Amino acid sequence: MKTRFSVYPYVWRVPLLIWQGLFFIGPLALMVAMSFWLVKNYRMEPDFVFKNWDKMMSRGYFWDAYWITLWRASLAALLATLIAFPASYTLAFKVSDTVRRWAVFFLIVPFFTSYLVRAYAWQVLLAESGPINAILGYLGLGPFTMLNTGIGAMVGYMTLVLPLVVILQTFSLAAIDRNLIEAAWNLGASARATLFKVIIPSARVGLIIGAVFAFILSYGDFVSPFYLGGSKPPTMSILIIDTTKSGQQWPRAAVVAIMMIVTLFTVAFVAVGAAYGRRK
């Protein structure tokens, strides 16, 4: 547009660079550096040693935490995808546009409301003497131990991720060209064949992105495994909190954090690659 130098574009471009540099990249870079530092007399001293890495990598409890977190987050992503799909399918194909808009409207609300208080509510609901067991008791069932088990943690993960997964799936299903589906029917495809050969492949990107978000959120979550899952064995995030809060061992917590970020990004890249790959 203009050839002479103008300050105008930079006023809009630069604030983000400064802010993210100072308060996003800076802290993360410090954390990486910190993982090579040493703690002496309860104070961190800059250094470049691999002691923290050796310490964490050689401990059984670290790998227990690593695998249980990976396993639970994968299970949560799979469950959320399966539980959400019938609902998303209904919202995408069986209801009017207005109903769908309102449904999405109400699904956004819980995502931005206190997850902590919702987890506490589940703690009350799932307790041995809580309302759910009381109702099951009238039916002659239970009581079941749900709190402080893997089930409790999974209920918490679903509370956290289901609304988002349903929204993402609904959008991707609603965006499918209806002619494609009708064509499949006209050509005599069964409902099952239409679902698996037309609808699911067309909505692949949205389905995978939904699962990836479910994975990311569950993987990093600390509330559900701690308050609903009983924190035994600890997950990676519980390990970070324990290491930071009790032992002042920030460098070792940084090691756990870096392992988490590497794992998350690997999973996300592989999954997004699968979503967009082979799609000509």
Partner 1 sequence: MRMADILSRVYVAALFVFVFLPILTSVVFSFNSDRFPTVPLGHFTTHWYETAFSRPEVWLAFKNSLIVAFCAASLSTMLGFVTAYTDFRYGFRFKTAYLALALLPPTIPLVIMGLAMLAWLGRLGLSGTLIGIIIAHTVMGAPFAMAICRMRLQQMDPALEAAAWNLGASPWRTMASVVIPFSTPALISAFCLTAAVSFDEFIVAWFVSGLNKTVPVMILEILQGNVDPQINAIGTVVFLTSITLVILAQLLILRRSAT
Residues 116-155 that bind partner 1 (CB under 8 A): 116-125, 129-131, 134-135
19 makes contact with partner 1 (CB under 8 A): yes
Of 114-122, 140-148, 173-181, 202-210, the segment contacting partner 1 by CB under 8 A is 114-122
Binding mask 218-257 for partner 1 (x = CB under 8 A): -xxxx----x---------x--xx--x-----x--xx--x
158 makes contact with partner 1 (CB under 8 A): yes
φ/ψ of 175, rounded to 5, equals: -85, -5
Structure tokens at 260: 């988490």
CB 215 within 8 A of CB 76: yes
24 makes contact with partner 1 (CB under 8 A): yes
When the beta carbons of 124 and 175 are compared against partner 1, the nearer one is: 124
Residue type, 109: V
CB 237 within 8 A of CB 72: no
**Residue 214 Cβ vs partner 1, minimum distance, rounded to whole Å:** 13
CB 69 within 8 A of CB 218: no
Residues 179-208 that bind partner 1 (CB under 8 A): none
According to DSSP, residue 43 is labeled E
Distance CA 225, CA 172 (A): 30
Residues 6+ apart with CB under 8 A from 158: 76, 79, 80, 83
The correct pick among 70, 181, 195, 268 for binding partner 1 (CB under 8 A) is 268
Residues 70-89 that bind partner 1 (CB under 8 A): 83-84, 86-87, 89
CA distance to 18, 26, 131, 257, per residue, from 22 (Å): 6, 5, 48, 20
209 makes contact with partner 1 (CB under 8 A): no
**Residue 260 Cβ vs partner 1, minimum distance, rounded to whole Å:** 6
CB 207 within 8 A of CB 81: yes
101 makes contact with partner 1 (CB under 8 A): yes
114 makes contact with partner 1 (CB under 8 A): yes
State the DSSP H helix or E strand holding residue 67, giving kind and residue range, or none if neither.
helix 60-89
91 makes contact with partner 1 (CB under 8 A): yes
Torsion, Cα 248 250 255 258, to 10 degrees, reads 140
Distance CA 154, CA 152 (A): 5
When the beta carbons of 25 and 180 are compared against partner 1, the nearer one is: 25
174 makes contact with partner 1 (CB under 8 A): no
**Residue 58 Cβ vs partner 1, minimum distance, rounded to whole Å:** 22
Give the number of residues in contact with partner 1, rule: CB under 8 A.
Answer: 79
90 makes contact with partner 1 (CB under 8 A): yes
**Residue 78 Cβ vs partner 1, minimum distance, rounded to whole Å:** 17
